[in-house]
């Protein structure tokens, strides 16, 4: 493939280090529940380096590429794989596909990608609420990877960490130096993994509806609104202080606890207790 200049508007940094590519392939789990059947979705294949490794490893690959200049080059490079139906290349913004379709595939699949930094957070959040996506192995800037993988008690723990651990496990795999890319980014990158262990939105899932999940996301924004303030102080901007005091007492929480010092289970419990009180108030109004 002829040399292509990376486009800033698409956040392109082409990974060129074969040892990093090998480590990404090795990190893909052999089995998941539900079984992803060897189906992998790659977002932003770029020059096709990771694409080649994924195809050589035997995965059934679908790649979403937003850059119209790269699509014909990828079609030429992977002509045989495209004709053999082992590879499907879609010229579309993956986030738009999620918005329109709800999922990037119609069967369980795994995301393996070097995500464009400017939309990486949004893409991972879309993957989290897509129940057909059973897991993610993604390269992003290290700062973003830490936000998704840190757990309660760690200083980097954030609302993104809560969301990533709601229905599975998230962990940092390894760092990638700037010189592994062309052009060279100004930040260190990291590869991280999210493995889902149960459905997020379903009758037997963490939340029974998308609406409830979105309310929980809004609740987390309040909780982490001012990370240096106490969790009680942040919540008291939206929730009655007397109710909060009762909830903190019931859960044996200190009023001085800060947002990063809590954990996923406690955030769910606080949210459920606030929701329960709101539902009671709604019933009282009807009466």
Tens of pLDDT along the chain (287 residues)?
A: 455 554 444 444 678 889 999 999 999 998 898 899 999 999 999 889 999 999 999 999 999 999 999 999 999 999 999 998 889 999 999 999 999 999 999 999 999 999 988 899 999 999 999 999 999 999 999 999 999 999 988 889 999 999 999 999 999 999 999 998 877 878 899 999 999 998 999 888 899 999 999 999 999 999 999 989 999 999 999 999 999 999 999 999 999 999 999 999 999 999 999 999 988 888 777 76
Q: Of 145, 170, 196, which marks where a domain is finished?
A: 196
> Residue 205 domain-assigned?
no
Please measure the distance between the N-terminal and C-terminal CA atoms of the chain and give it in whole angstroms.
Answer: 71
CATH of the domain at 270: 1.10.8.100
Q: Where are the beta strands (DSSP E) in 1-99?
A: 14-15, 39-43, 60-65, 87-91
Identify whether residues 143 and 54 lie together within a single domain.
yes
> Residue 273 domain-assigned?
yes
pTM: 0.91
Identify whether residues 64 and 103 lie together within a single domain.
yes
Cα–Cα distance list, 95 to 45, 69, 127, 128, 222 (Å): 15, 19, 10, 13, 25
CATH of the domain at 181: 3.40.50.150
> Residue 122 domain-assigned?
yes
Contact 178, 186 (CB under 8 A): yes
Cα–Cα distance list, 12 to 9, 70, 93, 108, 127 (Å): 8, 11, 14, 27, 20
Identify whether residues 166 and 235 lie together within a single domain.
no
Binding site for S-adenosyl-L-methionine: residue ranges? Answer: 13, 15, 44, 65, 93, 114
Query: Domain of 282?
Result: 210-286
Binding site: residue ranges? Answer: 13, 15, 44, 65, 93, 114
> Residue 221 domain-assigned?
yes
> Residue 3 domain-assigned?
no
Contact 117, 144 (CB under 8 A): yes
Identify whether residues 52 and 135 lie together within a single domain.
yes
Total domains in the chain come to: 2
Contact 116, 12 (CB under 8 A): yes
Identify whether residues 42 and 173 lie together within a single domain.
yes
> Residue 152 domain-assigned?
yes
> Residue 202 domain-assigned?
no
Identify whether residues 20 and 116 lie together within a single domain.
yes
204's CB contacts (< 8 A; 6+ apart) are: 198
Identify whether residues 106 and 224 lie together within a single domain.
no
> Residue 125 domain-assigned?
yes
Which of these, 222, 192, 219, 225, lies nearest to 207 by C-alpha position? 219
Identify whether residues 30 and 166 lie together within a single domain.
yes
């Amino acid at each position: 493939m002829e040399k292509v200049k990376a486009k800033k508007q698409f956040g392109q940094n082409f990974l060129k280090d074969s040892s990093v590519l090998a480590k990404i392939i090795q990190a893909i789990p052999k089995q998941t529940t539900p079984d992803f059947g060897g189906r992998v979705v790659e977002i932003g294949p770029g020059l096709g380096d990771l694409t080649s490794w994924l195809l050589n490893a035997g995965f059934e690959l679908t790649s979403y590429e937003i850059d119209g200049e790269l699509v014909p080059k990828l079609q030429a490079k992977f002509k045989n794989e495209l004709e053999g139906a082992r590879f499907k290349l879609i010229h579309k913004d993956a986030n738009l596909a999620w918005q329109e379709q709800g999922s990037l595939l119609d069967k369980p699949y795994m995301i393996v990608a070097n995500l464009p930094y400017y939309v990486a957070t949004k893409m991972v959040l879309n993957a989290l609420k897509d129940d057909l996506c059973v897991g993610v192995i993604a390269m992003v800037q290290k700062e973003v990877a830490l936000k998704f993988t840190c757990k309660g008690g760690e200083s980097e723990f954030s609302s993104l960490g809560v969301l990533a651990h709601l229905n599975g496990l998230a962990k940092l795999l390894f760092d990638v130096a700037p010189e592994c890319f062309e052009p060279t980014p100004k930040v260190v990158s990291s590869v991280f993994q999210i493995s889902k262990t149960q459905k997020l939105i379903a009758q037997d899932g963490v939340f029974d509806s998308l609406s409830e999940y979105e309310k929980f996301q809004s609740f987390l924004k309040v909780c982490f609104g001012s990370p240096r303030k106490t969790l009680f102080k942040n919540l008291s901007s939206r929730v009655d202080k007397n109710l909060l005091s009762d909830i903190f007492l019931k859960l044996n929480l200190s009023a001085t606890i800060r947002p990063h010092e809590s954990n996923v289970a406690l955030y769910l419990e606080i949210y459920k207790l606030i929701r329960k009180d709101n539902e009671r108030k709604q019933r009282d109004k009807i009466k």
